[in-house]
């Protein structure tokens, strides 16, 4: 029985057969970077009508602005000419279903080691989007800090609602 990765490799073979060879510029044509949650229900390209090569898509649990996201955004802006940053959080997020202390304790109990990273769970979705906007705007590593907008994606309808900071 083929596992999921074997199925995906077969999908890739079919994709490359119909896709053909072409070269897209490494710089996103829309000069846009998007930070979103890793949730599998969010099809960023379909929801926004994006095409390949138009935007950098950075994803993690909760769409949180971490040091690593800032690192990627700095490369995106300083070397690959993006200017605008779009933050997309969403309803029914898994990060709203855990607590920092509880998840940290679970990791430490099952591994014997406390994680070195922040968990960054949250309960107030809008406040978390506002916090993310502020983190981007305060980062000295980013060139275009004023070009950031935050949104909440409704996981049931696909509608985006803008949050201002």
Domains of the chain: 24-163 (3.40.1050.10)
Tens of pLDDT, residue by residue over 30-43, are 999 999 999 999 99
Tens of pLDDT, residue by residue over 8-65, are 999 999 999 988 888 899 999 999 999 999 999 999 999 999 999 999 999 999 999 9
- The model carries a pTM of 0.93
User: Which tokens hold the place of 71?
Assistant: 């690192």
Q: How far apart are CA 123 and CA 102, in angstroms?
A: 14
């Amino acid at each position: 029985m083929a596992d999921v990765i074997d199925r995906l490799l077969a999908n890739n073979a079919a994709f490359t057969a119909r896709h053909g060879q072409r070269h897209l510029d490494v710089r996103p044509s829309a000069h846009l970077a998007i930070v979103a949650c890793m949730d599998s229900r969010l099809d960023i390209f379909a929801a926004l009508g994006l095409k390949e090569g138009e935007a950098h898509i950075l994803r993690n649990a909760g769409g949180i602005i971490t040091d690593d996201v800032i690192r990627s955004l700095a490369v995106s802006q300083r070397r690959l000419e993006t200017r605008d940053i779009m933050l997309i959080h969403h309803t029914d997020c898994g990060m709203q279903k855990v607590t920092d202390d509880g998840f940290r304790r679970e990791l430490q109990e099952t591994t014997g080691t406390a994680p070195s990273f922040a968990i960054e769970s949250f309960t107030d979705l809008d406040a978390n989007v506002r916090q993310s906007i502020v983190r981007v705007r305060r980062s000295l590593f980013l060139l275009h800090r004023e070009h950031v907008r935050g949104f909440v994606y409704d996981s049931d309808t696909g509608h985006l609602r803008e949050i201002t900071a």
